[in-house]
Amino acid sequence: MAWFRAASSAAKLAVRRSLARPGSYATKARILPSHNRDFHSTVFTSRAQAATAPIPRPVPLSRLTDSFLDGSSSVYLEELQRAWEEDPDSVDESWDNFFRNFVGQATTSPGISGQTIQESMRLLLLVRAYQVNGHMKANLDPLALEERHIPEDLDPALYGFSEADLDREFFLGVWKMAGFLSENRPVQTLRSILTRLQQAYCGSVGYEYMHISDREKCNWLRDKIETPTPTQYNSERRVVMLDRLTWSTQFENFLATKWTAAKRFGLEGGETLIPGMKEMFDRSADLGVESIVIGMSHRGRLNVLGNVVRKPLRQIFSEFSGGTRPVDEVGLYTGTGDVKYHLGTSYDRPTRGGKRIHLSLVANPSHLEAVDPLVIGKTRAKQYYSNDVDRTRNLGILIHGDGSFAGQGVVYETLHLSGLPNYTTGGTIHIVVNNQVAFTTDPQAGRSSQYCTDVAKALDAPIFHVNGDDLEAVVHVCELAAEWRQTFHSDVVVDIVCYRRFGHNEIDEPSFTQPKMYKVIRSHPSALEIYQQKLLKNGQIAQEDIDKIQKKVNSILNEEFMNSKDYVPKKRDWLAAYWSGFKSPEQISRVRNTGVKPEILKNVGKAITTLPDTFKAHRAVKKIFEQRSQMIESGEGIDWAVGEALAFATLLVEGNHVRLSGQDVERGTFSHRHSVVHDQETGEQYCPLDHVIMNQDEEMFTVSNRLYFIQEFLSLTLFWHTYFFTCIFLTCFFYNASLVVNKYLKYGS
């Protein structure tokens, strides 16, 4: 596709030149409110105008002097075609495929015999414009408040097409492309091509993926997005989705009814998150995921706890009511707990496909995104200890707010961990609950970019923007995100554009700062009401069935509320997971002799001071290792670096995993450690501590330089250490991570 990319910018410039001339078919781009974005952002010229304006007709390439291909471009194409006709091997393979498809289709399909290469190139650019900018025309805002500039690139008139061309047939096949541009797609009318482009890119989902440089990934997404017909769910799936959305909605309504003045940071306005997550987990389990670690801030956490991770509802209700004092459990260290919307839990959840998947929601303080690197660390640790080499069985999912995703540096810093060899988890799924307002700050004052998710483009992550009122669209992109992660093992972002029905908390008054938005919200139906009406209108469910689902949910909620009055909490309820073997302050640990016999020290000392005979180390480093060898042999003059290396080596001998992480830890900031030595001729690396015992696992000792983000590194390593506490970690510049120290390390979370 090199020819396509090269021609694109020149072609657009030529098109704009033609637009400036009298009699152009193009119309100006309009700025439309989102509720009017249905089929056209721009319109074709009227029939009256079309009758007086010149109509594009097939012409020989040599006569193309205006619009898309003019001047040298048309001559170049004409020469290419002539050369190809004489000898197909004389042109590049991409051009050979293009001419072969174009000429072959024109010969066998009378309906497209008038299609010129000029029109083919224009049509290719139109399709590409939808792939790049179609999201700008998508119906994303459920409140229909946002006014967006619709790019002129999406106007067919810009490319010389008029209403007279709508029922003409065109062939779009391009070499090594997928979706609409696949060579296997049939000949179609311009009308059907435009209709499907609108459905795929300008409906309730806005796709951003053309910033990804990998052709294979883009083609994979095109095949998923540009299907011949839109995705449809059967009646059984729709009833399941309705049931899950009912649980999400009724849970919030029940809490609001029982505890009217309580802060709960509810999910009203974004209730489709819950069925979306459940469908994502079901699809992930089908694709091999066995464990999911979840991190999120407080908004919607109670709903996720109750409906996704399945924390007992009676326990949640008991926490709202104040409950009774937790009973003491000998030998269990839990601390004093936290408010209910900061807590975590874990559960083995059955899936729709008949499998079971372990879910763990990590506790999080008020610092919204502080939990992000901890989730990555816990996921990576679980992958190591479960021998998940391919990183397909353990998955991390982060749920963000729109303001914090764009505004907190920890998000960007955590994203940059994703591709680092010793930090990657094989891809994280990011879900943004986009309320379109951050506390009281409008997007215009909260970020400089078009979307709050633009930061993820730096990592070539695909971004799926979706209207939060369209349940089936939310489910579709959540499943697509799971498939992407399991296929390409890289990050993906789902941006659920919704709203916050109440203020920052339930006793806050949002109309102080967003009066227009909340005037609309007050009369806006819930996502549940919208979906119920859709199913009723399509005749896929009866009102009696809807009433039956709601009655079932309300009955269970009331039963759990009654049971909550007798619920006796336990201290372990505060924990996200029960850690057997974790000592409490009341328990006296056995005093262990940490000394090591001299013969063991000499054996491991030899291993950590020996370099391969063929290894060409720097002469100064070679001298350091020779001196270390003498220290081990004599037992005298042992310095800090040798003592540290001996400590790590003996821990490895005892079967402990040692992970050393920091910006310069491989060499050591003061050139003292040299855990990793570099061959001065080949650049090959050698780590002596990887060769302490026979057949040592290559990850048993991990030493890794890292990016210069102290908070993220400490958070990731902290959870590795606390979740699997046989790991040893070392850090420097500790003061830069005070948030992690104060909120996690001090309290043993």
Q: Assess whether pLDDT exceeds 90 at residue 242.
A: yes
User: Distance (Å, rounded) from C-alpha 474 to C-alpha 481?
Assistant: 11
CB atoms within 10 A of CB 330: 7
Of all residues in the chain, the percent with pLDDT exceeding 90 is 48
Q: Name, in order, each residue with C-beta under 8 angstroms of 232's C-beta and a sequence gap of 6 or more.
A: none
| 302 backbone dihedrals φ, ψ, rounded to 5° | -65, -40
Q: Are strands 345-350 and 356-361 parallel, antiparallel or unpaired?
A: antiparallel
User: Distance (Å, rounded) from C-alpha 506 to C-alpha 28?
Assistant: 45
Paired with 295 in beta bridges are 398
User: Distance (Å, rounded) from C-alpha 161 to C-alpha 139?
Assistant: 25
- Domain architecture of the chain: domains with CATH: 2-203 (no CATH), 238-311+372-566 (3.40.50.970), 598-706 (3.40.50.12470)
Q: Assess whether pLDDT exceeds 60 at residue 19.
A: no
pLDDT band at 79 (very low <50, low <70, confident <90, very high): confident
User: Distance (Å, rounded) from C-alpha 685 to C-alpha 348?
Assistant: 42
Lowest mean pLDDT among 310-314, 417-421, 490-494, 710-714: 710-714
CB atoms within 10 A of CB 271: 33
Q: Assess whether pLDDT exceeds 50 at residue 68.
A: no
E-only strand ranges, 474-630:
492-497
Q: Assess whether pLDDT exceeds 60 at residue 20.
A: no
* pLDDT tens per residue across span 310-362: 989 998 898 887 754 555 555 444 444 456 667 778 889 999 889 999 999 98
| 728 backbone dihedrals φ, ψ, rounded to 5° | -110, 135
Lowest mean pLDDT among 80-94, 146-160, 700-714: 700-714
Plot region of 457 (φ>0 → left; ψ -120 to 50 → alpha; else → beta): alpha
Q: Assess whether pLDDT exceeds 80 at residue 521.
A: yes
Chain centroid to Cα 675, Å, comes to 35
User: Distance (Å, rounded) from C-alpha 28 to C-alpha 152?
Assistant: 7
Classify residue 287 as exposed, middle or buried by CB count within 10 Å of its CB (0-12, 13-18, 19+): middle
Whether 360 contacts 703, CB under 8 Å: no
Comparing C-alpha atoms, which of 263, 267, 276, 338 is closest to residue 303?
267
Residues 587-610 have a mean pLDDT of: 84
CB atoms within 10 A of CB 489: 15
pLDDT band at 101 (very low <50, low <70, confident <90, very high): low
Q: What is the pLDDT of residue 371?
A: 87
The token duo for 482 is: 């799971």
Mean residue pLDDT of the chain comes to: 80
Classify residue 505 as exposed, middle or buried by CB count within 10 Å of its CB (0-12, 13-18, 19+): middle
Q: Assess whether pLDDT exceeds 50 at residue 14.
A: no
| 740 residue type, one letter | V
- Kindly report whether the global pTM for this prediction surpasses the value 0.95: no
Exposure string (b/e) for 215-243, b if CB count within 10 Å is 16 or more? eebbbbbbebbbeeeeeeeeeeebbbbbe
